[in-house]
Amino acid sequence: MDSDYLEKLSKNPFNNMLGIRISDVGEGRAKAVLEIKPEHANIHSTAHGSVLFAVSDAAFEAAVNSMSRPAVAVQVDIQYLAPAKIGDVVTAAGEPVRVGKKMASYRLDATNQEGKKISAAQATAFFVD
């Protein structure tokens, strides 16, 4: 993977604010990782849904833009399957389902450090080139 792209990903201000890091990037795929902190919690002391969405979206952004074509999300649908607790390490993996000339469809699964699936998402991107 291009080191300039990895450098660009490491400087994403939104991801950095939340503590999300991109741990793996390949052609069309990526993984994003986040350790759940107290500031990520909801009133039940589990990860707020928007935090789980953000880590999945970070994997999506890194994956779809790794194909050397600028892309933006046009749709993301997520299902929350299990709570992530404070101290859990959540890893979201973005894998292409279909890549066309103008759009790409992705599957985004997030798991905790024990491999338990926390969320499942489907996303669509539009190539802006």
- Over residues 16-41, the mean pLDDT reads 96
Q: Which residue has the tokens 């709570």?
A: 83
Q: How far apart are CA 125 and CA 83, in angstroms?
A: 27
- The pLDDT of residue 1 is 57
Q: Which residue has the tokens 């539009």?
A: 126
Query: Alpha-carbon dihedral of residues 36, 37, 43, 46, nearest 10 degrees?
Result: 30
- The candidate with the shortest Cα–Cα distance to 47, out of 92, 16, 87, is 87
- The pLDDT of residue 51 is 98
Q: Is 43 helix (H, G, I), strand (E, B) or coil?
A: coil
Which residues have a Cβ under 8 Å from the Cβ of 58 and sit 6 or more positions away?
Answer: 12, 15, 20, 22, 32, 92
- The pLDDT of residue 2 is 67
Residue pLDDT, tens place only, 94-123: 999 999 999 999 999 999 999 999 999 999
C-alpha distance across the termini of the chain, in Å: 20
Residue pLDDT, tens place only, 46-100: 999 999 999 999 999 999 999 989 999 999 999 999 999 999 999 999 999 999 9
- The pLDDT of residue 7 is 87
Domains defined along the chain, listed by start: 3-127 (3.10.129.10)
